[in-house]
Structure 1
C-alpha cells in the first residue's frame, strides 16, 4: 500500500474494529446484548437509507434472500456471538477468538466449494488454531463465552465466503445498509426468546452511555463500513486483508487500556500466533479450483471482508 490515504483508512478501520470489543463490553453494563445490537444496526441502517434510495436495488426475491442470509450471518450472528462471549470472557480474548474468521473462510471454501489452497495457507490454519490454544493457556475453557466467540468467527467466515460469491451482483452500499437493517430486525425479534431484554438509562453515567451508543452506531457501523469498502474498492483486497491480524492486537491493547483487563504473556503469544496464521491464510498467491466460478471471488481469501463490528 503506497497510497497514504488508503493506508490511513486501513489502519483506522483496524483500530475501530479493535476498539469495538472493549466499548461493546461497556455497553453490556446497561443493556442486554440482542437489544443493544438491534438498536445499533437498525439506527445505522435507517441513517444510511436516505443515501442509498437512488442506488440500484435488488429486483428479484432470490436477490433479497441472499442479502437476508448474509445480513443474518454478518450483522446478527457474528455480533451476537461477540457480545454474548464478552459476558463471561475478557474482550481481548473475544477479539482473538472471533478474529479467526479468515481461517474459517478457507475451511468453508474447501468444504463447500472444493477450493484448493496452497500448503502455506493450510499452515496458516494450523498456526491460527495453535494461537487460539495458546491464548487460552492450552486449556480449552468450556465457558459459554469461548464457544460464542468461536461461533462468531465461524459465522463471520461463512458470511465472507457468501459475500465474495454473491456480492458483485449488488451495490455495495445498498447491501451494507440492508444487511444491518435485516440483522437488526432479526435481533430485535429474537431478543425476548433468548434473553431478558433490558435497557437502563443511568443519569449518573449518561455521558458514558451516549458515547458508547454514538460509537456503536456512527463509528462501529457506518464509518467502519464506509472506510473499509473504500479501501477494498481502491486497492488490492488481498493486500488489504493482511492487516486484519491487527484487530486482535488492537482488541487486546484497548481492553487493557480502557477496561484494565490483564495482559498475560500467553494471551499475547496466542494473539501473535493467530496473527501470523491470518497473515499466511491471506498471503497472496495462485489458488486452483475445480470450479471456474470460484476462481475470481476466492483467489483473495476474505475479499470484501468486513472487520469485526
Structure 2
C-alpha cells in the first residue's frame, strides 16, 4: 500500500474497529445485541441519506440486490455475531476470532474464484493470525460465544470478498449508507425472533449512554465504513484486508484504556508477529491473480 492517504485511512479504520469492542461492551450494559446494532446502523444510514441525493445510486435491481447482500453479511451477520459473542466470552477473545477474516478472505477467494496467492502471502496471513492468538495468550473458551465470533470472522471475510468484487459499481458513501441501513432493518426484523429485546435509559448514566451511541453511529459506522470502502476500492483488497489483524491489538489497548482491563506483556510479542505478517503479505511481488487475469 503505497499511498499515504490509503495507509492513514486504513489505520484509522482499524483503530476505530478496535475501539468498537470495548465501546460495544459498554452498550450491551443497557441494550440487547440486536437492538443496539439496529439503532447503530439505522441511525447511521438515516443520518447519511440527506448527503447522498447528488451521488450516483444503483440503476438496476441486480445492483440493489448486491448491495442488500453486502448489508446482510457486513452489517447484520458480522456485527450480530460479534455482539452476541461478547455476552459469553471476553471482548478480546471476540476480537481474536472475528479477526480471522483475512484468512477466510484468502480461502474464499481461492475456493470461489480460483485466485492464486504467493506462498509468502499465505505465510504472512498465517503469521498474522498467530500474532493475534499470542495477543490473547492462546486463551479461547469454547462457549457459544466462540462459535458466534468465529462465524462473524467467516462472514466478515466473505463480505470483504463481495465488496472487493462488486464495490467498484458503487459510490463509497452510497454503499456504506445503504448497506448499513439494510443491515439495520434486517436486525430490527430479527430482533423479536432471535432475542429478548432490551433497551434501558439509565438517567444516572445518560451522558455515557449518549456518548456510546454517538461513537457507534458516527465513528464506528459512518466514518469507519466510508473509509474502509474507499480503501477497498482504491487498493489491493488482499493486502488491505491483512491490516484487519491490527483490530484485536487496538481492541485490547482500548479495553485497557477505557475499561481498565489487564494488558499482559505477551501482547507485544503478538504485535511483533502481526507487524511481520503484514509486511509479508505486502512484500513486493506480483499481485494475486484470478484464473481469467492469469490467462490474459
Query: Does the alignment reach a TM-score above 0.5?
Result: yes
Query: In the alignment, what sits opposite 1:195?
Result: 195
Distance, in Å, in 1 between the alignment partners of 2:2 and 2:280 is: 21
Matched, 1:13 2:13: yes
* 1:160 alignment counterpart: 160
1:87–1:73 distance in 2 versus 1, CA, 3 Å: same
The answer to whether the 8 Å contact 1:38/1:184 transfers is yes
The 10-residue stretch of structure 1 (263-272 or 98-107) with the greater mean CA deviation from structure 2? 263-272
CA distance in 1, matches of 2:294, 2:69: 20
Does residue 73 of structure 1 match 2:73?
A: yes
1:35-54 map, 5 Å: 35-54=35-54
Q: Name the residue aligned to 2:263.
A: 263
Q: For the structure 1 residues 73 and 229, does the alpha-carbon distance in structure 2 shift closer, same or farther, using more than 3 Å as the test?
A: closer
The separation in 1 between residues aligned to 2:107 and 2:131, in whole angstroms, is 17
Question: Tell me, which stretches of 5 or more residues in structure 2 are unaligned?
Answer: none
* Deviations 1:109-138, CA, capped at 9 Å, x for gaps: 111111111111222343344445545654
CA-atom RMSD in angstroms: 2.8
Distance 1:132 1:146, change over 3 A: farther
Q: Which residue of 1 aligns with 2:60?
A: 60
Match of 1:114 in 2: 114
Give 2:182's aligned residue: 182
Q: Does 1:147 align with 2:147?
A: yes
* Distance apart, 1:54 and its partner CA: 2.4
1:56-85 deviation line (CA, Å, top 9, x unaligned): 222222211111111100011111111111
CA offset at residue 288 of structure 1? 3.4
- In structure 2, distance between residues paired with 1:291 and 1:232: 21
Distance in 2, Cα, partners of 1:139 & 1:248: 14
Q: Does the CA-based 8 Å contact 1:242-1:279 persist in structure 2?
A: no
Q: What's the TM-score, normalizing by structure 2?
A: 0.88
In structure 1, what is the equivalent of residue 28 of structure 2? 28
C-alpha distance 215-64 of structure 1, shift in aligned 2 (>3 A): same
Mapped contact 1:98–1:153 kept (Cα < 8 A): yes
Stretch moving more, 134-143 or 252-261: 134-143
Q: 1:192 to 1:228 in 2, by over 3 A?
A: same
In 2, the alpha carbon distance for the partners of 1:80 and 1:216 equals: 14
In 2, Cα distance between the equivalents of 1:88 and 1:185? Answer: 25
Instruction: Say how many residue pairs are matched.
Output: 295
Distance 2:274 2:120 in 1: 14
Tell me, yes or no, if the aligned pair for 1:22 and 1:255 is still in contact at 8 Å. yes
Offset of residue 87 of structure 1: 1.3
Whether the aligned pair in 2 keeps the contact of 1:115 and 1:294 (CA below 8 Å) is no
Distance 2:177 2:295 in 1: 26
Matches within 5 A, 1:208-223: 208-223=208-223
Change (3 A) 1:268 1:72: farther
C-alpha separation in 2, matches of 1:236 and 1:81: 27
1:36/1:250 CA distance change after superposition, 3 Å: same
Per-residue CA deviations over 1:91-113 (Å, capped at 9, x if unaligned) read 22222221221111000011111
Cα distance change on mapping 1:35 and 1:225 into 2, 3 Å: same
Distance across 1 between alignment mates of 2:86 and 2:20:
12
Helix, strand or coil for the counterpart of 1:200? coil
